[in-house]
Amino acid sequence: MTVLASIRDLTVTYRRDGREVAALKGVGFDIVAGERLAIIGESGSGKSTLALAIAGLLPASARVEGRIDWFWRTQPILGTVERQLRHLRGGVPLLGRDIGFVFQDASTSLDPVMTIGKQIAEVARTHLGLTWSQAYAKAKTLLQRVHLPDPDSALHAFPHQLSGGQKQRVAIAAAIAAGPKLLIADEATSALDTIVQAEIVGLIRRLVAEDGMTLLFISHDIALAADLAERMAVFRQGQLVELGTAARIVGAPAQPYTRALLDAHIGLDAEPLLNRSGLNA
């Protein structure tokens, strides 16, 4: 087992209405290279704050304590989160190149006045040093990989001309354009209907397997997470309350809160869920 990143005693505090509010409280766990890890919990549990901290996207107003040590290359990249946020290009994994990030709503993460092709090609040019011609060719290949209909036309389309599911496919294509080692999907399916959700989850699973990426899948939907992840981390009020394999957490949750998340899915029974996920295979 190779550890990709080690998170230790991570605390993130925001200042709101003249008082400090801790979004994360002393969180610690390892991200294993090549795994599919789901971070689950209700709204406000700290899931997205964790994703933003890992990607170096926290606002300057956030006060961060603890550390994230990256074992990214031959030599480990060590340092406090504060130092990493200040020096993203100093050996710490770079968002876009080493870390791909898929946000919840592609309508807000995609530039509305830039064509789909240019948005994907720009990532490839910036991080891979390709010419525009090479970058557009790569963009077309990526659109084919995410099964976007008529990739040639899509290259010249604008985001508003696509459906919600198609825009999320474009966002995924842009996130993997530079061949990242870690893909973070932050509630990437919550704005989609059930059928499209299943298609996007299947797409993410396939791309992660094909490219050998590590996946961090953020979701409030424990059933959806169990269908994709090998391991789960359950968050509540900024704290990590349970960590284990998806099979164990769904089949025998150790915490009442995890059981409550399972019970929140009407008619959800562990056995069919395990079978559907292939976890009993």
Domain that holds residue 117: 94-180
CATH code of residue 143: 3.40.50.300
The pLDDT, as a whole number, for residue 80 is 53
Answer yes or no: is 195 within a domain.
no
Tally the domains of the chain. 2
Q: Within this chain, do residues 139 and 103 fall inside the same structural domain, yes or no?
A: yes
187 assigned to some structural domain:
no
Are 83 and 125 contained in the same domain?
A: no
In a domain, 2, yes or no: yes
Total length of the chain: 281
pLDDT tens sequence across 172-213: 999 999 999 999 999 988 878 888 888 999 999 999 999 999
User: What are the tokens at 215?
Assistant: 């996946």
Share above pLDDT 90 across residues of the chain, in percent, rounded to a whole number: 62
Q: Distance (Å, rounded) from C-alpha 183 to C-alpha 102?
A: 8
Task: Return the pLDDT at 71.
Answer: 82
Cα–Cα distance between 47 and 124 in angstroms, integer?
A: 29
19-33 residue pLDDT tens: 889 999 999 999 999
Residue 10 has pLDDT above 50, yes or no: yes
Compute the mean pLDDT over every residue in the chain, rounded to the nearest whole number. 86
For residue 79, what pLDDT is reported? Answer: 52
223 sits in which H/E element: helix 222-228
* Number of other CB atoms surrounding residue 33 within 10 Å: 17
Asked whether residue 19 is domain-assigned, the answer is yes
Residues 66-101 pLDDT 10s: 988 888 654 444 455 555 444 433 345 778 889 999
Determine how many CB atoms are found less than 10 A away from the CB of residue 263. 12
Contacts of 268 (CB under 8 A, 6+ apart): 223, 262
